[in-house]
């Protein structure tokens, strides 16, 4: 029971911070009309994710239902604990969005949907799902390669945060750059605008599943490989 509570709180705090800081950056960029708005938004998401993943990775560090579902498919988390994670993530995201709604002026939060995402008019739903799926694939691949693999370099959340920042810069203008169902769900609940929610669930979950299963089956070593398959030595 105590272990479940620790995991729940870690996932709640991490997802709350991601939505609160990321949404706040989106609202601030809109309010100040900064020329570097997209860069600032990407950095805010990347930095807070890197810090919180580093702070909680010995306990959890997902902060993303799609990633948790990928872990579940790869049998790296039990179904009951995955449910605890996802519940904490969704609650953290919703409460963070309501905190922004309560603490910031309505004239700033309404146009930005409390930091929620929207799909560009030029992008179809299918294209948006594809973009979100590819981005979440890359994110989950990096998570497995830097935090799950027993031979992974121990660099904390730096690689994960950097990946999110880079992907927001790349596709943020087209899909809003979610890669995370909770990050889209929280502001949608608080704003009452659920436009595009299917995109922000289907794309990330498909991408996370593909990356988790690929890395688990192909890259993680369980037995000692033959000598001719190992590292090249002089």
pLDDT digits (tens, 9 = 90+) for 26-85: 999 888 775 558 999 999 999 999 999 999 988 989 999 999 999 999 999 999 999 999
pLDDT digits (tens, 9 = 90+) for 189-224: 999 999 999 999 999 999 999 999 999 999 987 655
pLDDT > 90? residue 225: no
Average pLDDT, the chain: 92
* Backbone angles phi and psi of 87, in degrees to 5: -60, -45
Domain ranges of the chain: 2-221
Query: For the residues 155-169, what does the mean pLDDT come to?
Result: 95
pLDDT at 127: 98
User: Which pLDDT does position 224 carry in this prediction?
Assistant: 56
What values do phi and psi take at 112, rounded to 5? -95, 5
Q: How confident is the model at residue 232 (pLDDT cuts 50, 70, 90)?
A: very low
DSSP secondary structure string, 109-176?
A: HTTTGGG-----TTS-HHHHHHHHHHHHHHHHHHHIIIIISTT----TTHHHHHHHHHHHHHHHHHH-
Query: Which residues have a Cβ under 8 Å from the Cβ of 138 and sit 6 or more positions away?
Result: 163, 167, 207, 211
Rounded Cα gap, residues 170 and 64, in angstroms: 20
Asked if 211 and 144 touch (Cβ cutoff 8 Å), the reply is yes
2-221 is classed in which CATH architecture? Up-down Bundle (1.20)
Q: Is pLDDT of 156 > 90? A: no
> Which pLDDT score, from 0 to 100, does residue 234 have?
40
pLDDT at 226 (0 to 100): 52
Given this model, what pLDDT does residue 37 score?
A: 86
Distance CA 57, CA 222 (A): 22
Quote the pLDDT of residue 223.
56
């Amino acid at each position: 029971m105590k272990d479940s509570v620790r995991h729940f709180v870690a996932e709640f705090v991490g997802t709350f911070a991601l939505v609160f800081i990321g949404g706040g950056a989106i609202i601030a960029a809109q309010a100040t009309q900064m020329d570097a708005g997209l860069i600032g938004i990407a950095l805010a998401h990347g930095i807070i994710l890197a810090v919180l993943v580093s702070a909680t990775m010995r306990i959890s560090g997902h902060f993303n239902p799609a990633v948790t579902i990928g872990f579940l498919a790869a049998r790296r988390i039990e179904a009951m604990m995955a449910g605890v994670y996802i519940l904490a993530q969704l609650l953290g995201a919703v409460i963070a969005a309501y905190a922004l709604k309560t603490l910031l002026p309505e004239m700033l939060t309404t146009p930005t949907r409390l930091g929620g995402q929207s799909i560009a008019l030029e992008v179809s739903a299918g294209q948006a799902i594809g973009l979100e799926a590819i981005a979440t694939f890359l994110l989950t691949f990096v998570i497995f390669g830097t935090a799950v693999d027993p031979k992974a370099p121990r660099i904390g959340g730096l690689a994960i945060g950097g990946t999110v920042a880079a992907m927001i810069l790349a596709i943020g203008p087209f899909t809003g750059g979610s890669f995370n169902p909770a990050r889209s769900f929280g502001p949608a609940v608080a704003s009452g605008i659920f436009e595009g929610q299917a995109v922000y669930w289907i794309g990330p979950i498909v991408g996370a599943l593909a990356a988790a299963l690929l890395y688990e089956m192909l890259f993680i070593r369980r037995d000692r490989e033959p000598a001719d398959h190992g590292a090249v030595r002089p």
